[in-house]
Amino acid sequence: MLIKKPTDIRSSEITDKKLYFNSREFIQAATGTAAAAAAGVLGSEALLHAATPAPHGRKLDNVKKSPLSADERTNKWEEITTYNNYYEFGTDKDEPSMLARNFKPEPWTVTVEGECNNKAAWHLEDILKGQTLEERIYRHRCVEAWSMIIPWVGFPLADFIKKCDPTSKAKFVEFTTLYDPKQMPGVRSPVLRWPYVEGLRMDEAMHPLTILTVGLYGEVLPNQDGAPLRLAVPWKYGFKHIKSIVKIKFVEKQPLNTWQLQASNEYGFYANVNPTVDHPRWSQATERRIGEFLRRKTLMFNGYGDQVASLYAGMDLKRNY
């Protein structure tokens, strides 16, 4: 199978498959041709068998509604768990739903290193101990110009950072994803440099909107969505939302994140959602919400400008993209 590298992918190919098949069905109804109908049935059946929604998992206890949630209709479980960017399980949007089924997210340990006083290997149960979990309905905007509204369940990253007790030298937080070729078939391909690495400036990491996510729709996080622990930073493009975190490191210098290493002219460190800064191969001025046909205007900072714009006062956001 030929796997396209990011530089080979045209913007015209970045299309929600469900919308694609819905449009085919619309054409079939309009034309009534037997050939088109047959093609549509075969295509829809292939998609149905390929992209299977995640099974529902264990309910999380005592989840509270967050006042920081967006007041918008959420995407369906089926959409959120069948349309994913997770290259460790394949580069196509439906591959994680197929190839992450046997991934084992328990037991789980996160190693804390670097400029902090409490270096340790934290079991996930200890990370969650004493935490109040909140359902946070966040806008999720990906750099390929598609978006969703997702009801994550998590807690502020700042709460965990305080437990780690970073020193005054800690200016950034670096995150690393699990690297396991036995469980993650995508890492057997050199499409990216593994393991996946991301980073935040300390004030971004400490912001109340930045959360460590452990659930979706009140249940434990599905494998294809980054189980058991992922990041959600709603004013940034999706590639910043690192999944299956196994290491958190406090560092003095700005880390080089994976996509920045892969193509620095396309993917910067900050990755703030910005409709005025286009990707070199497509516009960021509009987006397609998964489950909708028409495009909508992209909001600056993904609609969270009132909360986060002050973090970047005086910065050139076209240069610091």
- In this structure, how many other beta carbons lie within 10 angstroms of the beta carbon of residue 37? 16
pLDDT score at 52: 86
Read off the tokens for 41.
């049935």
E strand intervals along the chain: 64-65, 109-114, 120-123, 134-141, 146-156, 172-177, 197-201, 211-216, 219-220, 230-232, 245-251, 286-289, 296-297
Express each pLDDT in 124-183 by its tens digit.
999 999 999 999 999 999 999 999 999 999 999 999 999 999 999 999 999 999 999 999
pLDDT tens digits for range 3-59: 444 444 443 344 444 444 444 433 343 333 333 333 333 333 334 346 789 999 999
Q: Are 300 and 292 in contact (CB under 8 A)?
A: no
pLDDT in tens, 169-225: 999 999 999 999 999 999 999 999 999 999 999 999 999 999 999 999 999 999 999
Measured distance CA(77)–CA(217) in Å, rounded: 8
d(CA 211, CA 192): 25
Does the structural domain 51-312 have CATH classification 3.90.420.10?
Answer: yes
Residue 86: DSSP 8-state: -
